[in-house]
């Protein structure tokens, strides 16, 4: 994994002049005669080309620095930028320019996923906040516990279970490895961009989610 921190891409050690562009999201909405407002019919997510403009440190071995650069981006790469992650692949190629004591490089990356993301987790009562610009769906695990509140909604399993998994995005419930939908109350909350909700339960739990933008 590569990390951009304080203007340096680590562990490569090159300086970053330019970081990234977010993915492009195009929303399809139409007005219908005789009806108020617009109707949203869907979204099309387009992965933009993210460009990294890099400058090598001062060096007497430019060939070594160029080999390090090519090795770092040889395969699909995971990059962390201020706590946000993106996954990309070089497309079409890296352009390198040599100077007397350093190199500059333009690294074009095509995103392999439509969003940058930020991993978040709660293991005790607290606040789930969506810091992205896309809705999020919590991934809930309950341990010897059958109920949890997320905002105004209560997620409840009717039965005895040691490990309960509630995937709100895909609307699946797994109880001790088996399909648990028939004993579940059917609540799958969604948290809108910029919103926050309280999470609380009387038992042990873990709630994970991805802020996305």
Tell me which of 28-37, 140-149, 203-212 is least confident. 28-37
Residue 181's SS3 state is helix
pLDDT of residue 73: 92
Fold of 2-111: Elongation Factor Tu (Ef-tu); domain 3 (2.40.30)
Q: CA–CA separation, 153 vs 134, rounded Å?
A: 20
- Contact by Cβ (8 Å): 133, 117: no
Chain segment 26-83, per-residue pLDDT in tens: 555 555 566 565 555 555 555 567 889 999 999 889 999 999 999 999 889 999 988 8
Whether the per-residue pLDDT at 167 is higher than 70: the answer is: yes
Tens-place pLDDT, residues 148-159: 999 999 999 999
Compute the distance between CA of residue 150 and CA of residue 126 in angstroms, rounded to an integer. Answer: 10
Query: pTM for the full model?
Result: 0.76
- What architecture is domain 117-212? Sandwich (2.60)
Q: For 170-181, how does the pLDDT look when each residue is reduced to its tens digit (9 = 90+)?
A: 999 999 999 999
| Domain edges within the chain | 2-111, 117-212
């Amino acid at each position: 994994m590569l990390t951009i921190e304080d203007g340096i891409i680590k562990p490569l050690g090159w300086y970053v002049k330019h970081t990234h562009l977010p993915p492009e999201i195009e929303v399809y909405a139409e007005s219908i005669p005789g009806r108020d407002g617009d109707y949203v019919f869907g979204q099309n997510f387009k992965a933009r080309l993210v460009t990294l403009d890099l400058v090598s440190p001062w060096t007497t071995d430019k060939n070594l620095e160029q080999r390090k650069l090519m090795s770092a981006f040889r395969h699909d790469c995971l990059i962390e930028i201020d706590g946000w992650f993106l996954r990309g692949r070089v497309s079409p190629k890296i352009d390198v320019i040599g100077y007397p004591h350093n190199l500059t490089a333009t690294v074009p990356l095509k995103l392999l996923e439509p969003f940058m993301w930020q991993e978040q987790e709660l293991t005790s009562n607290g606040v789930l906040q969506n810091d992205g610009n896309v809705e999020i769906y919590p991934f809930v695990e309950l341990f010897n516990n059958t109920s949890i509140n997320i905002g105004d909604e209560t997620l409840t399993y009717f039965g005895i279970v040691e490990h309960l998994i509630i995937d709100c995005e895909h609307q699946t419930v797994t109880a001790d490895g088996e399909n648990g939908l028939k004993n579940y109350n059917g609540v799958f909350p969604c948290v809108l961009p910029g919103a926050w909700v309280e999470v609380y339960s009387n038992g042990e739990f873990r709630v994970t989610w991805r802020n996305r933008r």
